[in-house]
Amino acid sequence: MVLRIYTSFTFRCILLCLSILWLSSCSKKDKSSTEDPPVLYSRLTLNFSHVMNGSPLVRSSSTYINPSGESFVISRFRYYLSNFSLVNDAGKTVILPPAYFLIDDATDSTKRISLDSIPQGNYTALRFMIGVDSARNNSGVQSGALAPENGMFWTWNSGYIMAQMEGYADAVASPTHQFQFHVGGFKGPYNVLKIVSLPVKLGINPTMSVVPQLNIVADAAKWFTPDTVSFKQAAVIMAEGTNALRIANNYQQMFSIKN
């Protein structure tokens, strides 16, 4: 009798242990099935080219005509880009790590930039800011692309020049006929910081042997339209204000995807 009771007790203990092990195994399977797979990252290269009304921009030697009928030559064309993000096919905005680039038509190396730490996925839009955000404008003198030695920092006004175009136009009344568009300002009604959103069809896959690229065109003619900018009205813009804002509103539309 005692042996039967002992045997029955032992069997129940074994059965209980097996049940616990089975439940534990199910729990682990359920947990592993609900865990998100690891996120993989890759890079994206952006190639910039500059045109004037669709033709390659040629500084210092080609003469152009603005919508006001004024002839001009461009000697300098530069702008800052920052605050990059991508919109995935689910409509979610993926903010990329902070990066600031000074694109200079005179320096080819600046017209090819790399964006890092992009999550794997499919994307429908690329977004970025023309200019330097208010946080960096309020941070004083900095280095790299934001170094004052680049000539894009208003030391007397504590802020960055977001975009710059210089050249010569017969319509300018000064003896040198020089025009200078230094577009800046990040506060209040004269905030010239502009967000650009470009539609793309982009797949990011870290297993690809080739880094994906986008070719982006900036048309300098957009600085003068649709809000018509005339050299007779404003040949020198060196501070925030209405004229700088008008140009910024115009050049917000200057970018397009080539490929």
pLDDT tens per residue across all 259 residues of the chain: 444 444 554 555 555 555 555 555 555 555 444 566 667 889 999 999 999 999 999 999 999 999 999 999 999 999 999 999 999 999 999 999 999 999 999 999 999 999 999 999 999 999 999 999 999 988 877 899 999 999 999 876 669 999 999 999 999 999 999 999 999 999 999 999 999 999 999 999 988 888 999 999 999 999 999 999 999 999 999 999 999 999 999 999 999 999 7
Q: What is the pLDDT of residue 26?
A: 55
Spatial distance between the Cα atoms of 180 and 235, rounded to a whole number of angstroms: 6
Q: What is the pLDDT of residue 41?
A: 85
Rounded alpha-carbon distances, angstroms, from residue 85 to 39, 81, 129, 229, 248: 17, 12, 9, 31, 20
Rounded alpha-carbon distances, angstroms, from residue 18 to 30, 194, 200: 18, 65, 56
Spatial distance between the Cα atoms of 135 and 146, rounded to a whole number of angstroms: 13
Which helix (H) or strand (E) segment is 224 a member of? none
Which residues have a Cβ under 8 Å from the Cβ of 238 and sit 6 or more positions away?
180, 182
What are the residue boundaries of the structural domains of the chain, listed by start? Answer: 1-35, 41-257
Helix (H/G/I), strand (E/B), else coil: 25:
helix
Rounded to two decimals, the pTM is 0.85
Q: What is the pLDDT of residue 16?
A: 52
